A and B are shown apart, each in its own frame.
Chain A
């Protein structure tokens, strides 16, 4: 992909010159960034660290998926409405493109936009703010353009087939302009964030934002097809409202509508003008006003992260602040090693951004999925079987979280496990697992069961308890069966073992346990009787896990 982009850039050389950039430098920066992207796996685009080889396989795979999804959506909403009822379907199509662009920008490219390694490497060189900023925009846009293109390929095809080539071309251009507009809006968004939030907090906030966004997308894939009831909502005749001028996807849709109908009236002309002027005005505005501010703020990102002398002195910490972590650690662990691992895992899982980014969205989505299914699904969701399905289904997400425990960017620090006189690494593994159970699994199940009890009646309490115990059993079994890593001791790519095979196995076991549970519900007191059995099994397996010796642990 890199040569194509560079070729295109060379064609646009005069444009960059007029925008005040040093083209040679810009080209060098973009080239290096693209090369590095190819060698690095995408953080969340290619989830679970599928390390791409020299070529950007994961990215291409994602483009393929986008193309399929975009194609289906276009087929569903753009291929049947009457010529004069295309406005809302088009709006939906553009909303989808814009939403995905914004998502990608925030979840995957915030690291690109806010990359402070540039501070050390590029800022000391004679590169002007404008060149650096433009290089960043070009770098990001090259991805966004391909994403926007692959999403709207179906729509372009359908439109040019139904309404002529001009409509198709317009669709193409406007999809690209949507991406530009999103770059502008995200830039503004970040600048606003930076204005109100201290720089050191910014990354934290963005992290939480990413988590929320990720939940929205996961949920969106599920929800969107359900929300689209094509017969009623979409083909409504278009009634123009003044606030439509404030909704960017409507500009684009209006502009395409101009050609589709074809109609040239005041409203369509305004939409057309907005669609074409706004992205360029955004670009001009960014280039004119935001560049220096942005880079300056960015170089602040690093400076701010000097060691801050905490207000609480060491003495005070020792005496007064026996926090939750210590208290929980005291309650739930038996030996010092386990206690240490418990507190360590507890703290890192709360602070490591990558861990949070990889696990919290999954958990959030697990909850969202259950709620959505129970409301939407007419047949499946209301069946007496569904809440059991939900309870067991949810435990998969916790296992994924456990899987992430072994991974860290700071995996090199794992030498301490090797140098410390640890006789039984099992104590560390069990302490860390306990922290995961107390910190993630239990609150997660509390929320889930609260919802299920609310919706299906409090008499389901026995089922919830048994499902919880069974999930614990399965969590420990999966921990026992899979390769055991010390907490946070391996690099991401070391973990790309056969996830699918293991996932399948867990799925089967999950199914068997779930169905047995379902069977038990027909036996009087069967569920209540099974709970102690399940607890005993958990106890046995957990002790087994705790006895893990060095020969069973894989050091990264």
Chain B
């Protein structure tokens, strides 16, 4: 069956079940009935004053009675410094547990060590928002038993609530926790800021273990994850590499190309009609995307604009803007650097939120639906404004869906920033290799060679032209770039489906096939 963007979607995949094709950004969320397969919370019991403390993670995992075919979940707040997920998988493997479904909110460079567990079939399914590095290559060539499912941040919450992901064991790292499992990422030697992705795991998993390198006196204040959901608590020497968990402050790029793109994007925002008091704003943490904040900051000061809130994906740069009074508040689901943790802890206007509140399409108050402007990156874009943030130039899995499609769908103005080509590879395509965010939810694509406005927004195009912004037809831009770079050879793909891209409403928006040659 074909979905709304013309991708052939299998009706059924062994090991994953029936698939629903993508029908459009809001089709199933607004017009259809809300899915009724809601799960209930697990009933648990604990004797008064009994201790939850375990000496080792191994002891805690054994008490959770792991079994073959179980689903294990983790959060990715420790980013590239995570030492907990690998440890948990290693313990389960030593216990002989197999056929594991791994559902981590994302997977980073810290998880390359999963490769042998995938190869020997100990891990057979993966649900996640991002896959990179050696693990990405392993899955891309077809070594995971069943196709990986790439969901968005909001989609993950929905997948928990519909029972698509049924967590049996959740191992949640915290930079501070007490004996009952009240836990936070806001302080401690390994502080990582918001713990927003872990909230859903704590609430809905059958067994929850909190792992910390910093057991504090009861009660742990503040606490994101609360004690009535937690089965066991483990104090370990280390939850990972603190320098890779969160370090220093985020710097704005020096790349002239990124700065040029960011300058144009800020001008687009200024003339979009949304640049006024009370504006809400989200920006990514990388390259050109974050640099937009630098120019927006200058423009807001120049025009005395005070915004309502920022959300994200929060960097120290956002915290600086909060402290300068340019925004009233920050809603923080994930913090990107060390300087953010202290703001989460000390500034009452820096509000930690769960991923549910951040982006779940099936609640009635997600922040992404209240967003005015979002600036997002892209690996590739196409003439229909579709965006790829998951597969690289050989078709290999090397990125993250993250909150890309969530924010794009909710924001009044979705701006995608990217160079028109990168190291000879044209970025504007006839069709992106993998659609993560449908063009229907993308308004503007900003490149160094001009701004492309979605034809569905003629008024916006007119406003920008009037303001002197160089608005170009996306097909003309594609042609101009290909004249310089040449047209790349076709990718060498097989016919094995290695991953499915799940849209935030649970439908399948695209399919990823195995690659024959990795660059």
Indicate whether A and B interact: no
Interface residues of A (CB under 8 A from B): none
